[in-house]
Amino acid sequence: MKGYCVYLRKSRADVEAEARGEGETLSRHSNMLMELAKKQDLNVVKIYKEIVSGDSIAARPQMQSLLADVSECRYAGVLVAEIERLARGDTIDQGIVAQAFRESSTKIVTPAKTYDPDNEFDEEYFEFSLFMSRREYKTIKRRMQGGRLASVKEGNYISSAAPYGYRKVNPEPKVHTLEIVPEEAEMIRLMYSLYLEGHGAKYIANELDRIGISPQKSTSWEPSSIKKILSNPLYCGMLSWKTKSDGDALYKGRHEPIITEEVFLAVQQKKRTDPAAQLRPNDKLMNYYHNILYCQNCGHQMKRRFIAGSGHEHMLCACRECRGKVVSSTVEAVDEAVIAALRYRITGLEKLRYSGADEKRSKPDKKVPLMAELEKAKRQLSKLYDLLEKEIYDTDTFLERSKKVNDKIRSLEAAVRETEIEKKPSQLPPDEAVRRLQNVIDSFSDSAPEEKNRLLHTALRRIYYYKTERASRSNPSSDLLLSAEFL
Ligand SMILES: [Zn+2]
C-alpha cells in the first residue's frame, strides 16, 4: 500500500506575518497536517520542507523533487495546507502540477477538501477546479457548456469517443460528425430487428457473441450495452443534450442514420409496453460453472463464451482489470483441471483419515494473538503522534519510527487476512466429503449442464481460476491454476 507525504512551504504573506512576530508557519502547518493524517488514518512516509519562498517551480527545489516523486506514482496522496501552496499565479506551473497529479492519480489532501483526480466528476475540468475559486470555475464551465450546446444545435457530434457503428470525422473546420462503419452498422440493425422479433438483451448479446462480432473495447457483449444501443436516438440521426430541467433535448444531427425513425420509435414503444422482452432469460443454463468459478485476480465470476477464432467454448474473465492479464481456457481444459483437483482432494482427505489427525485440533487458532499484536501496534502509532505533538520527537525521528510501526501494521493485517482464509473449516466429515467428491467425478461427464452445476455444488463452495499464459504450439503446457474451497 502506498503512503502519503507532506509538502510545507511559506507564502510571502507568511514571511511578513512572521516578521511581525506571529509564530513560525512551517511547524504550525506541519502540526496541523500531521493531526489531519492521524484523523484520516493516512500513513505519512515523507515530509518536503521548502526553506526558500520562491513562487515558481523553478525557484523551489523541494517542489521539483516532490513533482518527480509524484510523477513516479510514489504516493497515494500529498498533504498540503492549502492548494495554493503547490502552485500559485503562473498558469504553466499550475498546468504542470495538475498534470502530474492527474496522470499519477495522486490525491491532494487539504484540511478543507480532498481532491481525487480519479473521482473528480469531469476529468477535463480537474485542473480548473483545482486552482480557481468555485465561482470562476462555474462561470468558465457554463461558458464552455454554452459553446458546446451551440455546436450540438448545429448538428455536431462533440463527445470524445465515437459510438459503436460510427467513426468520428472532421470534414471541414468546426464541423464534427460521424461516418458509418458498414459492418458495425449491420450489427446495430440486427440488434434492433432481433429486439422487435421479441428477443431480450441477453439473448441478443449471446447471439452477437456466437456470430463472433465483438464490441469496440471488449471481447464479448454485455446485455447492458445492448440496452444502451437500443435506447440511443443517435442511431436514427438525432443528437441528445442533457438538460437540468426537462430530461434530454433532441437535435437533428449531421450524421447519416443507421435505422429509421419508425424502427427506433417502435423499439421505444415495445420497451415501455413489453418489459418481459427485456428480461427474458437465456433459455437454458449453459454455464455449469455458474456461482462456482471465480477469477482469482479480481473476484468476478468467470463467463462462458464461444470464441469464434478458436471454434471452442471458453471460460473467461470479462472484466476490464483482467483484460490481457487473465487468459481464457477452453471449457474442456477447465473440466479436466477441476476433476484433477477433486481427485487430489480425495487423496489428501484419505491421508488425513489414515493418520487419524484431526485437521481442526492440530491447528491452534492463530488469529487471536495476531489481533492482539495488531491492537498493540496501533496503540504504538498513536503514541508516536503524541510524542510528535509534544515535540519530544522531531519530524525525522517520527517518520523513521512511524514507518517501522506502519510496516508492522500492514504485515499483521495481511497475516490476519491469511488466517481468515485458512480458517474456513472443512465442515463435512472426511468420509462424507470423499463420497460426494467421488460421486461428482463419476457422474460429471455424462450429466446435463444443470445437473453438472448441482453436482459441483454438492462438493464445493467456490473454485478460483488463474491463468496468465496462452498455450501455443511452442508452449503447449498450460499454467492454469485452480484453487477450490471445498465443503
Ligand atoms: Zn478477473
More confident residue, 126 or 412: 412
Q: Please report, as a single letter, which amino acid is at residue 217.
A: K
Rg (alpha carbons) of the chain, rounded to whole number:
30
Average pLDDT over residues 21-30: 83
| CB under 8 A, 24+ apart: contacts of 378-386 | 378/409, 380/405, 381/405, 381/406, 381/409, 382/38, 385/34, 385/38
Ligand 1 centroid from CA 8, angstroms: 41
Query: Average pLDDT, stretch 351-373?
Result: 68
Does the pLDDT of residue 248 top 80, yes or no? no
| d(CA 407, ligand 1 centre) in Å | 28
CA–centroid distance, residue 479 to ligand 1 (Å): 16
First to last CA, the chain: 33
Distance in Å, CA 201 to ligand 1 centroid: 23
Burial (Cβ within 10 Å: 0-12, 13-18, ≥19) of residue 191: buried
Residue 287 Cα to ligand 1 middle (Å): 17
Give 3 Cα–ligand 1 centroid separation in angstroms: 26
Residues 400, 346: Cα–Cα separation, whole Å? 51
Sign of CA dihedral 183, 186, 190, 196: positive
pLDDT range class, residue 120, cuts 50, 70, 90: low
* Residue 258 pLDDT class (50, 70, 90 cuts): very high
Residue 279 pLDDT exceeds 80: no
Identify the pLDDT of residue 151: 86
**Domain coordinates of the chain in residue numbers?**
4-132, 166-279, 284-487
Q: 456 CA to middle of ligand 1, Å? A: 21
Would you say residue 438 has pLDDT above 90? yes
Q: Name the CATH superfamily housing domain 166-279.
A: Putative Large Serine Recombinase; Chain B, Domain 2 (3.90.1750.20)
CA of 220 to the centre of ligand 1 (A): 14
Q: State residue 122's pLDDT score.
A: 46
Pick 4-132's CATH classification: 3.40.50.970, 3.40.50.1390, 3.40.50.1240, 3.40.50.10800: 3.40.50.1390
